[in-house]
Amino acid sequence: MTTDAYIAGLPKVELHLHIEGSFEPALMFDIAKRNGIALPYDSVEALQAAYNFQDLQSFLDLYYQGMNVLQTEQDYFDLTWAYLTKMAAENVQHVEIFWDPQGHTDRGVAFEVPLHGIKAALKKAEAELGISHQLIMSFLRHLSEEQGFATLEQALPHRDAFIGVGLDSSEVGNPPEKFERLFDRCRAEGFKLMAHAGEEGPPAYVRGAIDTLKVDRIDHGNHCLDDPELARRVADLGLCLTVCPQSNMRLKNCLDIRQHPIRAMLDLGIAACVNSDDPAYFGGYMNQNYQLIQDGLGLSRAEIGTLARNGITGSFASPARKAELMANLEAYEAEAPKA
């Protein structure tokens, strides 16, 4: 059995996926057309050619532009369903996905519209594809804490629809401390907490996410490795890092896959897992992300298994569902041909 085939068949979970980042150019053109919106590109190919990023901000500019065509519940349903059917084909059995409500409400789309469309697709996937899920509301960190509080107020009537909150968008210059009061409130409301930290920002931002925001999980976390004492602490805490290899390459946060930080994380015993972040923009869903680090780092099957286990353990699935996901993984490992 080739490693490609082994990875393709491996039961997987995804914990770091921005649903707006799964918006494939062909679907974007379809939805723009039905909503009577003109995209500033002539063709799918011209749009894809623009996906040539220098850093996080150059990606975010196109990411916000792309989501502008989403307007109706049906649009959000179609977006989410397209992602989930792909994940079923890759044997992804549990997903925890972010949405950015402020990216929609700020241009006049009611808070409920994305929420209802996304949730309907997630429920359909649970029933028809056997994919369990959690939904996470992410605050845009380039906006103010006050705007975050206003978004939280809009969200609270729907609190049962999502398990926690995240923090994304432009990292450098928007440290975790900017959102201390908002996260205190979210914690008091009983939400799980996570934050993007150490993607482009320094180790101090990872420390801020842990000590000030008191997160349950860190998205990316790569730069914790720049501070050995912090890296040791992340390992000792068993804090899950949702690492995104293809994203790191495409945003030039990693220049050589043979030097990708997930190698050091595994060696330090940090609970890293593999995720796709914004696959339509970065050119790879779950299988390709595993494949990329496998090719670059020559992972053993035991290491691939550790990454898959870290995803299950770090998830917010129920204990019963975690046990089921773990049993599926163990059965696969026991049965897959060795070579």
Binding residue (CB under 6 A) for ligand HPA from 22, 105, 134, 169: 169
Q: Which is nearer to Zn ion, 125 or 194 (CB)?
A: 194
CA distance 145 to 71: 25
Choose among Zn ion, ligand HPA, none what residue 246 binds, the Cβ cut-off being 5 to 8 Å by kind. Answer: none
CA distance 103 to 20: 9
**In the bound complex, what is the minimum distance in angstroms from residue 37's beta carbon to Zn ion?**
25
Asked if residue 196 binds ligand HPA (CB under 6 A), the reply is yes
**In the bound complex, what is the minimum distance in angstroms from residue 262's beta carbon to ligand HPA?**
16
Q: Which is nearer to Zn ion, 19 or 47 (CB)?
A: 19
**In the bound complex, what is the minimum distance in angstroms from residue 183's beta carbon to Zn ion?**
17
Asked if residue 117 binds ligand HPA (CB under 6 A), the reply is no
**In the bound complex, what is the minimum distance in angstroms from residue 7's beta carbon to ligand HPA?**
22
Q: What are phi and psi of 218, to 5 degrees?
A: -120, 135
Q: Which residues does the annotation mark as catalytic?
A: 199
- The first and second tokens of residue 72, run together, are 């109706």
Q: Which is nearer to Zn ion, 132 or 246 (CB)?
A: 246
Three-class SS state of 278: coil
Q: Which is nearer to Zn ion, 197 or 230 (CB)?
A: 197
Helix runs in the chain, H state only: 3-9, 25-34, 44-49, 56-67, 73-89, 102-105, 112-129, 145-155, 180-188, 203-211, 228-237, 245-250, 262-268, 279-282, 286-297, 301-314, 319-335
Binding residue (CB under 6 A) for ligand HPA from 71, 113, 168, 314: 168
**In the bound complex, what is the minimum distance in angstroms from residue 21's beta carbon to ligand HPA?**
5
Asked if residue 75 binds ligand HPA (CB under 6 A), the reply is no
Residues in region 224-253 near ligand HPA by CB under 6 A: 247
Asked if residue 21 binds ligand HPA (CB under 6 A), the reply is yes
Answer yes or no: are the C-beta atoms of 61 and 105 closer than 8 Å.
no
Binding residue (CB under 6 A) for ligand HPA from 10, 114, 278, 314: 278
Q: Which is nearer to ligand HPA, 134 or 169 (CB)?
A: 169
* The length of the chain, given as a count of residues: 339
CA distance 251 to 282: 8
Sequence letter at residue 285: Y
Please count the CA atoms within 13 angstroms of the CA of 66 that sit on its side-chain side: 29
Binding residue (CB under 6 A) for ligand HPA from 14, 17, 18, 242: 18
From the list 246, 238, 196, the residue with the least C-alpha distance to 221 is 196
- DSSP characters for 295-329? HHH---HHHHHHHHHHHHHHS---HHHHHHHHHHH
Asked if residue 96 binds ligand HPA (CB under 6 A), the reply is no
Binding site for ligand HPA (CB under 6 A): 18, 21, 56, 63, 168-169, 196, 199, 247, 277-278
